[in-house]
Chains A and B, each alone.
Chain A
Amino acid sequence: MSSPLDVALAVLNGAVGDYLHASGNGLATEMSFVGPRPAVERKVVVLVHGLMCTEDVWKQKDGEDYGSLLARDLGYAPRYVRFNSGRSVAESGADLARLLDGLVREHERLEEILLVGFSMGGLVIRSACHHGGPWLACVRRCIYVGTPHLGSPWERYGRTLAHVARMIPDPYARLAADLGDLRSRGIKDLGDPCHPFPLLPSIEHFLIAGWIDERVAALFGDALVPLASGTNGACADARALPPDHVKIVSRIAHLDLARSETVYRHLRVFAEGAPTSC
């Protein structure tokens, strides 16, 4: 369970974490596994949170989370990642690859790693897979929950606004533009309309996206991630029939995607399947 201080540090890291890391500031969060460490047998589920979050983002009202539910239903040992979400997605991906490398070395009997990423966490997983390593042989499936595969329009709006403010010949407008540009590399990466690393063909990828209101689902999706971005371009219309590897949850806000019973039902179906030795 994260303390209020952990949450405050997560927000600070998300906002200016790249600067904290580059300046060697003690407030910068190092990527690590947090929480209880259950005995790892054959299967591990690794959960990666999103921007400005901690592992508490997964917690449901009854105290359960996707990790504990997958442990109960399918026998996965859950491991929760905490990281500095202000660093670039590529840097966080490289860190995650190193962390998973250590996990595989630590548990020689490990047969399967299931990767579950929420929002930015999904992009970090994509980058980690691209970075690769011996652990990649254990990964059969990746599940992305509310991940902006085609970027978030809000970051692009912010980028445009800062650009316009910089063009106004006024010192206060320039100050506003400078303040806007203080946001972290991680936030700026969310504006990229296409993730630089393609989805690896050797892994099965499953996507879960949501929308709040059907009429504006294509434009706003779950309020932060539009439907097209959450489904990596597979579904831009809420009424369209999604392909088998994509599930769309209706009337759900972005953060609720990380702790929803409906999402878990889809996630469990995606997670089920015979593990293969690595």
Chain B
Amino acid sequence: MLTMKQWKGVAMLATDAVAHGSRAIENVQLATAARTFALLDLVPPVAPVASVVHLVHDGITMASHACVRRAAELAGSAITGALGWAEEDPGEAQKPHGAPVLPAS
């Protein structure tokens, strides 16, 4: 059975894997699209429209992947936070906080 520390590690690893994977896929998508649009740029009638579409394509791609990474980061933080909260000793959480009450002299 995984310990709480290891569960946190799993959440951290999954978050990092999504972030790195998303960045790698984004680079492939941008590079692949750049090749296609480079060919379209050679065709005079479509070149001006193609460069605008290229810009929009790249913008949407980058924004989408940034959203994926941000969502993964938030989910990772939420899971880690929840695990940290669950890890706390319930008996400790029920103890009253603040200054101890001194007996009346």
Contact = CB atoms under 8 A, between A and B. Distances in A.
Do A and B originate from a single complex? Answer: yes
Nearest to B35: A171
Contacts of B12: 23, 25-26
Contacts of A25: 9, 12-13
Contacts of A27: 6, 9-10, 13
Interface string A2-15: 00010001000000
Interface string B1-26: 11101111110110010000000100
A162 B9 CA distance: 29
Nearest to B12: A25
Contact of A23 (B2, B6, B16): B16
A179 B2 CA distance: 27
A41 interface: no
A5 B10 CA distance: 13
A214 interface: no
A45 interface: no
A26 B28 contact: no
Contacts of B10: 27
Interface residues of A, number: 14
Interface of B: 1-3, 5-10, 12-13, 16, 24, 27-28, 31-32
B68 to A, nearest CB: 17
A28 B24 CA distance: 24
26 contacts: A5-B1, A9-B6, A20-B9, A20-B13, A23-B12, A25-B9, A26-B3, A26-B5, A26-B7, A26-B8, A26-B9, A26-B12, A27-B6, A27-B9, A27-B10, A27-B13, A28-B9, A171-B28, A171-B32, A174-B27, A174-B28, A175-B24, A175-B27, A175-B28, A178-B24, A179-B24
Interface of A: 5, 9, 20, 23, 25-28, 171-172, 174-175, 178-179
A35 B8 CA distance: 25
Given A20-B13, A26-B9, 13 more contacts: A5-B2, A20-B9, A23-B12, A25-B9, A26-B3, A26-B7, A27-B10, A27-B13, A171-B27, A171-B31, A172-B28, A175-B27, A178-B24
Contacts of B5: 26
A23 B20 CA distance: 14
A175 B3 CA distance: 34
Contacts of B8: 26
Contacts of B6: 9, 26-27
A266 B7 CA distance: 43
A178 B20 CA distance: 11
The listed residue with most B CB atoms (<10 A of its CB), out of A9, A26, A172, is: A26
